[in-house]
């Protein structure tokens, strides 16, 4: 949600800028999902979801209206086996 040319630039953007709505990067993202993501990223703790259940409920409320194809990212595919390996140790 933050764009910059370097890690330092990203950190500065996190501190000083509002996040970019996902729909500005991916036009197919519905406005309701934009709202959920932006609320979750709010700087003010009081403006964020107060629990994971509260955010899950918001996502479930718009679930039927989503036509976004879900796919695992390479990052997620790499992390899950590492976590499973660590648990097995």
Instruction: Write down the domain spans for the chain.
Output: 22-88
Whether residue 78 is predicted with pLDDT greater than 70 in this model: the reply is no
Across the range 72-76, mean pLDDT stands at 53
Whether residue 37 is predicted with pLDDT greater than 90 in this model: the reply is yes
pLDDT of residue 71: 55
Across the range 20-31, mean pLDDT stands at 88
- CB 13, CB 4: distance < 8 Å: yes
Other CB atoms within a 10 A radius of the CB of residue 33 amount to 20
Residue the block writes with tokens 């994971």: 52
What is the spatial distance between Cα 46 and Cα 43, in angstroms, rounded to a whole number?
9
Q: By percentage, how much of the chain surpasses pLDDT 70? A: 71
Whether residue 49 is predicted with pLDDT greater than 90 in this model: the reply is yes
Which residues, at least 6 apart from 80, have a Cβ–Cβ distance to it below 8 Å? Answer: none
């Amino acid at each position: 949600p933050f764009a910059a040319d370097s890690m330092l630039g990203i950190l500065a953007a996190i501190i000083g800028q509002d996040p970019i709505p996902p729909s500005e990067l991916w036009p197919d993202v519905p406005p309701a999902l934009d709202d959920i993501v932006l609320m979750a990223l709010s700087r003010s703790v009081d403006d964020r979801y107060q629990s994971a259940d509260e955010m899950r409920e918001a996502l479930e409320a718009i679930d039927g209206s989503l036509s976004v194809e879900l796919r695992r990212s390479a990052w997620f595919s790499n992390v899950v086996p590492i976590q499973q390996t660590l648990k097995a140790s």
